[in-house]
Amino acid sequence: MEFTSSHKYHTDSVQGMPQPNMPGGLYDETMKKTRGALDRFVDAKTMPFWSNQDTRNALISTMVPAGAALTAFAVFARDKDVVNWWQNIKKPSWAPKDVRLYSVMDILALAPLGYASYLVYKNGGGFDYTDTRFALGMYGANMALALATIPFVKKKCLGCLWKNTALVHLTAVGTAIAFYKIDQTAGLWMVPYALWTGFYAILTYSIHSENKAIKDI
């Protein structure tokens, strides 16, 4: 007796193994958790579509970095000791003197990052894909390092501050590159933040260099 099956198979050009030919050309390659595997079966011009739920999720995602920036602004603006310390500390001539200006720049640079991260999550196929997990993981590490700036400033630890800001900048650049590979718009939204953190890293290193010989500032 001859048995027939309604499932047809095609040969995968990479693995040389028969793969099921799913309706609509969709097939979950469990061994290829990358954006490239997703692009193979999804038309980037039509999928994934944007819904009202996506708009809400993007707004919620935006609140995370924006909230962190607002928190830092509130902490520094109300701490007169930190404000006076920053105003009186020896700085390069090109450095802004008002500590609150840095908080404003943080808000402007950080605000778009939540939206960018959601674009990567949605268009990168979620956490099922290795490159998306890596990009969002680096983004999370960057946010943690950025928040670590607050206690370093409050403790007036210039050595810790410039090293931390250097790490913030490096992870910002890495995140921008990782985002761009998944979603170009998301990567471009990261560029102002990467530039700002680069400026901040140079500034804090310069301040540290000019004040490292001073024991009590």
The residues near 5 (Cβ < 8 Å, ≥ 6 apart) are none
How many Å apart are CA 48 and CA 51, to the nearest integer?
10
Say what the pLDDT of residue 60 is. 80
Say what the pLDDT of residue 175 is. 97
Q: What is the pLDDT along the chain (217 residues), one digit of tens a residue?
A: 444 444 343 444 444 444 444 444 444 444 445 555 455 444 545 445 777 888 888 888 878 787 777 777 777 777 788 878 887 888 888 888 776 677 778 888 888 999 999 999 999 988 888 999 999 999 999 999 988 888 888 888 899 999 999 999 999 999 999 999 999 999 999 999 999 999 999 999 999 988 876 554 4
How many Å apart are CA 69 and CA 76, to the nearest integer?
11
Check residue 191 and report its DSSP letter: H
How many Å apart are CA 78 and CA 126, to the nearest integer?
39
Say what the pLDDT of residue 48 is. 57
- Which residue(s) pair with 10 in the sheet? 19
CA nearest to 171, candidates 151, 144, 208? 144
Say what the pLDDT of residue 213 is. 60
CA nearest to 162, candidates 214, 205, 215, 213? 205
- Give strand ranges (E) for 57-131: none
DSSP H/E element including 11: strand 9-11
pTM of the predicted structure, to 2 decimals: 0.71
Record the tokens describing residue 19, joined without a space: 């793969």
Q: Which DSSP string do the residues of 21-34 spell out, in sequence order?
A: --GGG----TT--S
CA dist 132 → 71, 85, 145 (Å):
28, 41, 20
Say what the pLDDT of residue 44 is. 47
Record the tokens describing residue 165, joined without a space: 């800001």
